[in-house]
Amino acid sequence: MNINLLYDFSVDRENQIIHITREFNAGPELVWQAWTTARLLDQWCAPNPYRTETKVLDLRQGGIWQYAIVSPEGQKHWSRHDYQHIETRKSMTELRAFCDEGGQVVPGFLPTEATTTFEEAEAGTRVTIHERYGSQEIFEKMATETHKKGFSSHLKNLDRLLLTLQAG
């Protein structure tokens, strides 16, 4: 595994945008699969020691991914991604929001618009995420070194999963 994979996390405070770029030592097809398959997302998409639990994944324009981030004590924090646009193996745009277990968005919550792109890179695949926050409060919570480290943690979980999938 290439341990020097690109990871860039930059904050544009003026426009309330976080830009994240990360390279993975696997091809775009496998990275896309890990990013869009419930059983695989549940294996990597949470910072340690938390885990992800998917309730619904309907990967299509107009579909949603509803999931909980589960604490080691079992407390669930619900979120949903509403897919606005999907170009298979290339990009997706979604509106992200906190919700309840039934999928109802928290009242008054302004969603985050996120566009994720997948492209071939020397290491294998470069994933770029642009998160435009509708809420100043949520942006301030996410534009921190703590969030950067947490995000890096769950991307390292993806590195480990990709190695397992490639070996399998």
- Predicted confidence at residue 5, as pLDDT, reads 87
Q: Which domains, ranges and CATH numbers included, belong to the chain?
A: 7-167 (3.30.530.20)
**Residue among 53, 46, 56 nearest 82 (CA):** 56
**Residue among 10, 28, 45 nearest 123 (CA):** 28
Q: What's the mean per-residue pLDDT of the chain?
A: 95
To the nearest 10°, report the CA torsion of 136, 63, 67, 29. Answer: -100
At position 116, the amino acid (one-letter code) is T
pLDDT in tens, 136-147: 999 999 999 999
Mean of pLDDT values over 94-123: 95
- Predicted confidence at residue 9, as pLDDT, reads 96
- CA 26 to CA 118: how far, in whole Å? 11
- Tell me which H or E stretch contains 57: strand 51-57
- CA 97 to CA 100: how far, in whole Å? 10
Provide the percentage of residues in the chain whose pLDDT is more than 90.
93
Question: Does pLDDT of 3 surpass 70?
Answer: no
